Amino acid sequence: MSHVPSRVLVTGAAGRLGSAVLRVLAAQGVAVVGLDRVDPGGVETFFTGSAADVDLVAEAMVGVDAVIHLAAIPRPTLGAPEEVFITNTSTTFVVLDQAARAGVRRAVIASSLSITGLPFSPKPAVPDYVPVDEAMPLQIADPYALSKQADEATAAMVVRRDGMAVVALRFPMLGEPEFLVEEAVVHREDPGSRVNSLWGYLDMRDAAMACWLGVTADVSGAHALYVAAPDTISPYPTADLVARYLPGVPVRAPLPGRSVPIDTSAATALLGFTAAHHFEITPAELT
């Protein structure tokens, strides 16, 4: 049986995904508390500051019954290695720890496909197999991927300690339709340039809906789930891409057409998530 929260705290609320989540929550008629370093306006209750500020987060948590934690440095290139790791892990610990102390029972945190170690690896790396799934061993070699591993471990800790339910969504590249058109051009002209991201993507609207499902679906415990659109952002057949750019990598399931080499069946089974917005590539869009 699903649970609909009455008041949700969204950290990173001023970001691209945070803004999309706010729109989903507004459409659901749910009261929202926002927290970010910059107030974008339009949110009745907003706390301006860092999600690592214990006192600020504790204040923002009053009356909240679910949390969607998105605040993070989203790439390892956007800060010194120690800054990326410390910022991301400290905010996640503070938010989940304070949520548990406030009696919040449901949380979603933003993890990433980057936890595989592939997208930002400082040296050549390939998946153990495709489609990748939650059972595949991680190959972490950068501070951002390491921070996501620590975030998921923090989620597991509060679940064991406090009995919360926490869903970590392993997002691929996220984007609005206009951004995806630009990315499709890159993929057409240099199909191997995004091999480390497995050519995956997710429309920002679907990413926001996945967050909503994460706090409303009938789940317990800690879960890390890959989410992605069912097709790739590349105009080329996936089987051909894998054969050319991931030679020798075992293919465990058929990859017909442009099907993404990321197994999202766990998210479908647990949350009922399927992407509603598919990027249909047409010649006109790629000229």
Q: List, by residue number, the catalytic residues.
A: 144
Specify the amino acid at residue 120: F
What is the Cα–Cα distance from 77 to 59, expressed in whole angstroms?
A: 32
What is the Cα–Cα distance from 104 to 249, expressed in whole angstroms?
A: 42
What is the Cα–Cα distance from 136 to 53, expressed in whole angstroms?
A: 34
In the chain, which ranges are continuous DSSP H helix?
16-27, 54-60, 81-101, 143-162, 177-189, 204-216, 238-245, 265-271
Q: Which residues, including other chains, have CB under 8 Å from residue 165's CB and lie 6 or more apart?
A: 105, 106, 107, 159, 219, 220, 221, 222
What is the Cα–Cα distance from 206 to 212, expressed in whole angstroms?
A: 10
What is the Cα–Cα distance from 22 to 10, expressed in whole angstroms?
A: 8
Helix/strand/coil for 215: helix
Using alpha carbons, select from 185, 175, 183 the residue that is nearest to residue 286.
185
Torsion of CA 145, 151, 156, 160, to 10 degrees: 150
What is the Cα–Cα distance from 112 to 199, expressed in whole angstroms?
A: 14
Tell me the two tokens of residue 27.
């459409």
User: Could you give phi then psi for residue 206, rounded to 5 degrees?
Assistant: -70, -35
